[in-house]
Amino acid sequence: MRSSWFLAALVVCGVFALVPARADAQIYAWRDPSGNLVLSDRPKDPSARTYAVATTGTTRVTRPLSAQAARYENLIQEHSAANGVRPELVRAVIQAESAFNPVARSEKGAMGLMQLMPATAAQYGVDNPYSPQQNIRAGVAYLKSLLVRYDDRVELALAAYNAGPGAVEKYGGTVPPYRETLNYVDRIQGNMRQSAAAPPSGRLYRSVEIVDGREVVKFSNKPTEGSELVTRRIR
């Protein structure tokens, strides 16, 4: 029995590496009536054993969409699909440009969710840059044109969106060494990774590999050849 719960502790550690985490988090483990090991972030069984798991710098945190961002998600999905642009990129640009404020206006005259400059708005037939539908349509189309121009090099497309294509060309097709632009590119790419992080499967699979003549047990939320279902995770 002791070895069984030692295995449970190992499973907990494996699962926690796959799921969103918070500081001072706890995971609860118990056996269901069929003898299967069940893991949860809530003590749903009186026999559950508790494991405290400290977060680390490598823990992946998946952030849900804010209420403001969710309001425009259908438009983001629609125009991202129409232009072949990743929605997480569009989402991250809007967050950086306007924090999802549809009436935002910069000192330089950029307007709306994706902060369209007047010339860009006119180029894409926008008569009301504060209309979320028009703004996202034009902003995504413009972003797509930059991705095409720079052979899908996202960092250059973002640099051009922020500082203008002329600045990218001025520095030989590289990200201009402007502090604002460098921070902008880094921030958006970081937001993209968080936006794209998908919640893991609710199932856990166990597989055994032979390494240097010894059995090495591995756990994953995706089935592989020869793996077996170990647990169901309850949220």
Tell me the per-residue pLDDT of 98-124, one tens digit each, with 9 for 90 and over: 999 999 999 999 999 999 999 999 999
CATH topology assigned to domain 67-196? Lysozyme (1.10.530)
Give the pLDDT band (50/70/90) at residue 208. Answer: confident
pLDDT band at 206 (very low <50, low <70, confident <90, very high): low
Instruction: Supply the DSSP string of 22-65, one letter for each residue.
Output: -TTEEEEEEE-TTS-EEEESS--STT-EEEEE---TT---PPPP
Segment among 8-12, 142-146, 165-169 with least mean pLDDT: 8-12
Mean of the per-residue pLDDT values of the chain = 77
Q: Where are the domains of the chain?
A: 2-61+199-234, 67-196
pTM, whole model, 2 decimals? Answer: 0.58
- Which amino acid is it at 219? F
Give the residue numbers marked as catalytic. 97
